[in-house]
Amino acid sequence: MPSRRQGLLIVYTGEGKGKTTAALGLLLRAWGRGMRVCTIQFIKAETGNWGEVRAAKKLGLEWHKMGDGFTHRSRDPETTAAKARQGWQLAQEKIASGAYDLVFLDEFTYPLHFGWLATEAVVDWLKHHKPPHTHVVITGRYAPQALLEAADLATEMCKIKHPYDQGIRAQPGIEF
């Protein structure tokens, strides 16, 4: 086996619940070990004050919200895409700095899926610039095949049951 410490590229994708949630669990576990972590949220609006954002503030975790709350349904697609590209620029700086043990790119699959960023270029950049000790965690539906191929750990969250299908609204502290 190769050396024990190795920064992984981790992808949580799929239709099921638990993708961002699992990444939050990684943040908590890493924080528990005194590791340095950084989150960049794509898509989600800057104004959101979700449970995870409140927790991050309470823990003093570095947290950047780079989205405007829209995906492909944006009324201003160019601004939405530009925000995603800004987010990726920031992600590159954070990852390449080597200052973090774990960098979490929440919902980063969408800018790739919608073509706001070129998947091949992103995967290639990660291959050449991610420091060996840095874990990078990427979440979101529709993870492109090239990203999954580059990943060390990839899980598809497969939906068995969603509360929404049974008429139950999203619950604070659980889904946001």
Q: Candidates 7-15, 67-75, 84-92, 108-116 — which segment interacts with a second copy by CB under 8 A?
A: 7-15
The reply to whether 5 sits near a second copy by the rule CB under 8 A is yes
Backbone conformation region of residue 147, classed left if phi is above 0, alpha if psi is from -120 to 50, else beta? alpha
The reply to whether 99 sits near a second copy by the rule CB under 8 A is no
- The answer to whether 153 and 11 are in contact (CB under 8 A) is yes
Task: Kindly state whether residue 146 participates in binding a second copy, applying the rule CB under 8 A.
Answer: no
Selected range binding a second copy among 25-33, 70-78, 83-91, 108-116, rule: CB under 8 A: 25-33
Residue 156 in contact with a second copy, rule: CB under 8 A: yes
Binders of a second copy: how many residues, by CB under 8 A? 63
**Exactly one of 66, 77, 89, 135 binds a second copy (CB under 8 A); which one?**
135
Give the shortest CB-65-to-a second copy separation in angstroms: 15
How far is it, in rounded angstroms, from Cα 97 to Cα 102?
Answer: 12
Binds a second copy (CB under 8 A): choice among 68, 101, 106, 107:
101
Q: Is 77 near a second copy (CB under 8 A)? A: no
In the three-class reduction of DSSP (H, G, I as helix; E, B as strand; rest coil), residue 130 is classed as coil
d(CA 50, CA 172): 8
Residue selected from 33, 73, 75, 128 as contacting a second copy according to rule CB under 8 A: 33
The Cβ-side half-sphere exposure at 58, using a 13 Å CA radius, reads 8
Angle at 37 between CA 19 and CA 113, to 5 degrees: 40
Q: What is the DSSP letter of 10?
A: E
